Amino acid sequence: LAKTTQPISMDSYEGQEVNITCSHNNIATNDYITWYQQFPSQGPRFIIQGYKTKVTNEVASLFIPADRKSSTLSLPRVSLSDTAVYYCLVGDPYSSASKIIFGSGTRLSIRP
Amino acid sequence: EAGVTQFPSHSVIEKGQTVTLRCDPISGHDNLYWYRRVMGKEIKFLLHFVKESKQDESGMPNNRFLAERTGGTYSTLKVQPAELEDSGVYFCASSQEPQTYNEQFFGPGTRLTVL
């Protein structure tokens, strides 16, 4: 079971690019990397998922180096509404749901 | 398209009472999950339904918790009798795909306070 390590908190300003790195040194061959975003008083919301190299969607990009021992969630030109907690999850999509670990997440604060 | 809904949004009960939480998943989603965050700790998995069957209930803390999903549509999570340590936020999520790490759609949660 891959354990993840993320910064507890990060601060940035509107219009900046924000990169949140997640370490997962024990990632297994079948594991995927998934990021969720959670606003106060809401449930987590899926942002992006990847296995290797780079994945991009309308919300974010996910960069995964060749050794897959870390990954970086990149949020381009953040706004105040991007203030949230971001969770990095690592696991085999075909494993039991009981293996899902959200961890403490990274609390991102965006300032004007 | 309606998202995952949960009822009630808040519940305050006394220790020893019974509370039932309800989750309505996105229509057509066979997979339904319950999670909870207690006392500011991490979100923890409780159980996973596939249609009306319990696929994995290994996260249920004890036999005071009972989850059902009759007919494979909405689900209920009953806590009887409630204890102080049950206070927290209970989330429900649903997904169409069977893979557990694929996108899950979460509801807003039910905040349970046990006094």
What domains sit in chain A, N to C, each tagged with a CATH number? 9-111 (2.60.40.10)
The DSSP symbol for B83 reads -
Tokens of residue A56, six digits: 């991009």
Q: Residue A12's beta-bridge partner residues?
A: A110
Nearest-neighbour CA in chain A from B107: distance (Å): 5
Residues whose CB is less than 8 angstroms from the CB of residue B12 and which lie 6 or more positions away in sequence, other chains included: B113, B115
CATH class entry, domain B5-114: mainly beta
Model confidence at B2, in pLDDT bands (50, 70, 90)?
A: confident
Secondary structure (3-state) at A82: helix
Confidence at residue B1, expressed as pLDDT on a 0 to 100 scale: 62
CB B113 within 8 A of CB B11: yes
Q: What is the mean pLDDT of residues A17-21?
A: 98
Q: What is the mean pLDDT of residues A88-101?
A: 88
Confidence at residue B70, expressed as pLDDT on a 0 to 100 scale: 86
- C-alpha closest to that of B90 among B1, B19, B16, B18: B19
Please report the beta strands in chain A, taking only residues with DSSP state E, as ranges in sequence order. 9-13, 18-23, 32-38, 45-50, 53-56, 61-64, 70-75, 84-91, 106-111
Model confidence at A103, in pLDDT bands (50, 70, 90)?
A: confident
Cis link prior to B81 (omega < 30° from 0)?
A: yes
Of B42, B43, B108, the CB nearest to A42: B108
Secondary structure (3-state) at B97: coil
Of B33, B43, B109, the CB nearest to A97: B33
Confidence at residue A1, expressed as pLDDT on a 0 to 100 scale: 52
**How confident is the model over B35-86, as pLDDT tens digits?**
999 977 899 999 999 999 999 999 999 999 999 998 889 999 999 999 999 9
Confidence at residue B48, expressed as pLDDT on a 0 to 100 scale: 94
The DSSP symbol for A112 reads -
Model confidence at A6, in pLDDT bands (50, 70, 90)?
A: very high
- C-alpha closest to that of B110 among B31, B2, B60, B36: B36
Model confidence at B99, in pLDDT bands (50, 70, 90)?
A: confident
Q: What is the mean pLDDT of residues A22-40?
A: 94
Cross-chain residue pair A97–B106, CB shorter than 8 Å: no
Confidence at residue B72, expressed as pLDDT on a 0 to 100 scale: 86
Residue A2 pLDDT greater than 70, yes or no: no
- C-alpha closest to that of A99 among B99, B107, B38, B51: B99
Confidence at residue A75, expressed as pLDDT on a 0 to 100 scale: 97
Q: What is the mean pLDDT of residues A7-29?
A: 96
* B74 in A contact zone (CB under 8 Å): no
Best of B57, B100, B111 to disrupt the A interface (most A CBs within 10 Å) is B100
Q: Residue A56's beta-bridge partner residues?
A: A61
* A3 in B contact zone (CB under 8 Å): no
Cross-chain residue pair B58–A96, CB shorter than 8 Å: yes
Of B92, B93, B100, the CB nearest to A95: B100
Chain B residue at shortest CA distance from A42 = B108
Residue A22 pLDDT greater than 70, yes or no: yes
